[in-house]
Amino acid sequence: MHADIATHYLDEVRRQFRGHKRLAEGAIGQLKDEELFIALDSESNSIAILIKHLAGNMRSRFTDFLTTDGEKPDRDRDQEFEMNSATTRADVMRWWEEGWARVFAAIEALTPEDVMRTVTVRGEPHTVLQAINRQMAHYAYHTGQIVFLAKHFRSSEWKTLSVPRGKSKEFKATARKYEKGVLRERPEGR
């Protein structure tokens, strides 16, 4: 892979991971503590469970990313879907931050030359690019679940994390002003 393309790819990966983290945190930050632990039914996961699973996955996949299999032998994936009744919001957010810290430490350490190296996940070979894309899709999937649940719980109190309904034209006009240099800050929105 051309070094410029690999550099651009790694920059984009960092941007995308930060965006998923920020989006989920925007949703989580709107919740009451008890809402983190609500599951819609017996087959659903609470936001706390989703975070616990993500953190376990992040620890496993991104610890010694280039040198060990992404499915660590000490990972107990099934346990990630169980919640102790004494678990607090602080516990959940600690897992969240620890997981993301591993992701960012591993990604920041990568060089353009690493992008086409081979790593394994569950014994299956992947290029670094493939392994990262696999995780990006996985984290985006769960971020969407977190946002969906938080929006459901907050209902009419929900503060949008994107362009509000009925405000697309206003958003586009503001974005054009930014592009023309009239505004200094880019408008928020997806």
Residue 95 and residue 100: Cα distance in Å, rounded?
9
Q: How many domains does the chain have?
A: 2
Q: Are residues 48 and 121 in the same domain?
A: yes
Percent helix, strand, coil in the chain, to 5, is 60, 5, 35
pLDDT tens digits in sequence order for the chain, 190 residues long = 687 999 999 999 999 999 999 999 999 999 999 999 999 999 999 999 999 999 999 999 999 999 999 999 999 999 999 999 999 999 999 999 999 999 999 999 999 999 999 999 999 999 999 999 999 999 999 999 999 999 999 999 999 988 667 767 776 666 666 566 665 666 666 5
Q: Are residues 54 and 139 in the same domain?
A: yes
**How much is the pTM?**
0.87
Residue 37 and residue 189: Cα distance in Å, rounded?
28
Q: Are residues 153 and 166 in the same domain?
A: no
The sign of the CA dihedral 15, 26, 85, 88 is: positive
Whole domain around residue 188: which residue ranges? 162-190
Residue 67 and residue 82: Cα distance in Å, rounded?
30
Q: Are residues 22 and 82 in the same domain?
A: yes
Q: Which two tokens stand for residue 97?
A: 């931050």
The answer to whether 24 touches 143, Cβ cutoff 8 Å, is yes
Q: Are residues 97 and 130 in the same domain?
A: yes
Q: Are residues 190 and 116 in the same domain?
A: no
